[in-house]
Amino acid sequence: MEHHDLIKLTFQIATILIAAKLSGEFVAKYLKTPPVLGELLVGILIGPSILGGLSIDFNPANFTLGFTSGSGLFSVSPDSHSKIPVSATLWAIAQIGSIVLLFSAGLETNLKQFLKYFKPAIGVAIGGIVLPFSFGCILPVLFGFSNGIFDSPSLFMGSLLTATSIGISVRILEDLNELSSPEGVTILGAAVIDDVLGIIILTIVLGIHSAGNINVSTISLITAKTLGFWLVLTGLGILLSNYISKIFLGFKTPGSAITLALALAFIAAGLAETVGLAMIIGAFSIGLALSNTKLAQFIHKPLMSIYAIFVPIFFVVMGMMVNLQDMGGIWIFGLTISIAAILSKLIGSSLPALLFKFKLIESLRIGIGMVPRGEIAILIASIGITQGLIDSKLYGAAIMLTMITTLIAPPLLSLSFKNKSNQDSPN
C-alpha cells in the first residue's frame, strides 16, 4: 500500500464511523427504526457513486482538501478491473465486520432453540429458494435478456434471487432484541441453510456455463462437499465447545479469551471460504457451537466493543456497493425483478412457516426476514459479470434489486415486531 493510500484509508475509516453513528442515531431517534437502515442509507450517500466520488487531493507532499481530478475519498482507480466500487483494503475491513457480526450472532443464539426450530427453518429455506429461482429464470426471458429459462443469464438471475443476506437479518433482529425469539431463530437457521443451498446452485450454474453441461455425479459431489463441511464444522464445534472454553479461559493474560475466540472464528471463516461457502457461515457456526459455554458469557462485553466499531463499517460499505450509475436504462426491468424478489421470498418463506404451525403474523415476520439480499447478492452479481454470465444491464438490475430489498427489510421487519404480544408463539 502506497503512503498516500494509507492516509486516504484513515480518512475513509474516520468518515465511515462518524457517518454511521450520526445516521444510526438519527433513524433510531426520529424514525424509530434500527440503526442499520441509517448506516445503509448513509453508505449510499457518501459512497463512490455520489459524494465519495468527488475528488480530493491526498498527496502527502501537497496535501489539501481542495477538489482535484480523479481522487475521490471513496473512489477506486479508473484502471481497476474490480466490480466492487470500493478499494480492496476497505472491502477487506468490511468483511472483518461481517465475521464479527455473525460470530456474535452465533454466540447469542440459543442452541436448543436453534435445534428446536431447525426443521421449520429447512422448510422456510427451501420455499425461499424454489419460488425466487423460478421468477429469476422467467423474467429475463419475458424482458428479452435471455433466450430461454435454461440459458445462462436466466439460470444466473435465478440463483441470484435465491440469496438471503444473513448479515442484514441478524443485525435487524439484534437491534430489535428478537434474535432468540422463535421467528428470529427460524430466520437465522433458514438464512444459513439458504446460503449453503444458494452456493450449491451458483456452483452448478457456473459449471453449466463453463462446461456446457454438468452431470449428476458432479452435482452430488458439490452438494456433499458443501453440506458436509458445514455439518462437520458445526458438529465438531459443539462436541469440543466445553474443552475450547476451558482452554481459552485458562489463559490469564488480559484479553486472551476474546483474542483466541476471534482467531477461531477467523479460522472457521477462512475454511468456509476455501470450500466455496461464505466466510460468515463459518463464523456463525463457531459462534453457535460456543453459545452455551462459559466462554460465551465471559467474552460478551469485550466482543461488543469490537462489534461497535467493525459492524457499522460493514453496513456502511454495503451501502456503498450501490452504484447508481449501473442502473441506467433498466429501470422497468429492475423494478419488476425487485418486486418479484420481495414477493417471492415473502410468499415462498411464509407459507412453509404456516405449515409448521406459526401464526400468520409470525410467518410474515419470517418471510420479511428472508427478503434482504445485501452483500451475498452483490458478490454473486460480481461473479456473474466477471464470468460473462450476465451483461452490464442485468448487473445493474441485480444492484437495483439488492438495494431495494436491503433497504425495505429493516423498516418492514421492525414494523412487524411492533406491539408483539406474549401470545405470538408457535402452537
Could you tell me the pTM of the whole model? 0.76
Q: How high is the pLDDT of residue 143?
A: 92
Indicate the length of the chain as a whole number: 427
- pLDDT class for 278, splitting at 50, 70, 90? confident
Most confident of 44-58, 176-190, 245-259: 245-259
Lowest pLDDT segment from 24-28, 93-97, 198-202: 198-202
Quote the cell numbers at residue 345.
Answer: 421470498
Degrees, nearest 5: CA angle 180-185-190: 160
pLDDT, tens digit (0-9, with 9 covering 90-100), for 43-73 = 888 887 777 666 655 555 555 554 444 457 8
CATH entry, 90-416, from 1.20.210.10, 1.20.1530.20, 1.10.1060.10, 3.20.20.70: 1.20.1530.20
Lowest pLDDT segment from 87-96, 181-190, 269-278: 269-278
344-348 long-range contacts (CB < 8 A, ≥24 apart) are 344/131, 344/132, 344/134, 344/135, 344/161, 345/128, 345/131, 345/132, 345/161, 345/164, 345/370, 345/371, 345/405, 346/370, 346/371, 347/131, 348/127, 348/128, 348/129, 348/130, 348/131, 348/132
Tell me, letter by letter, the H, E, C secondary structure of 122-183. HHHHHHHHHHHHHHHHHHHHHCCCCCCCCCHHHHHHHHHHCCCCHHHHHHHHHHCCCCCCHH
In whole angstroms, what is the distance from residue 72 CA to residue 66 CA? 11
Quote the cell numbers at residue 18.
Answer: 462518524
Domain with CATH 1.20.1530.20 in the chain: 90-416
Q: 274: Cβ–Cβ under 8 A, 6 or more apart, which residues? A: none
pLDDT, tens digit (0-9, with 9 covering 90-100), for 320-370 = 877 666 666 788 999 999 999 999 999 999 999 999 989 999 999 999 999
Please give the DSSP secondary-structure letter assigned to residue 232. Answer: H
Is the pLDDT assigned to residue 77 strictly greater than 90? no
In whole angstroms, what is the distance from residue 283 CA to residue 280 CA? 5
> What are the b/e assignments for 213-246, b being 16+ CB within 10 Å?
ebeeeeeeebbeebeebbeebbeebbeebeebbe
In whole angstroms, what is the distance from residue 19 CA to residue 78 CA? 26
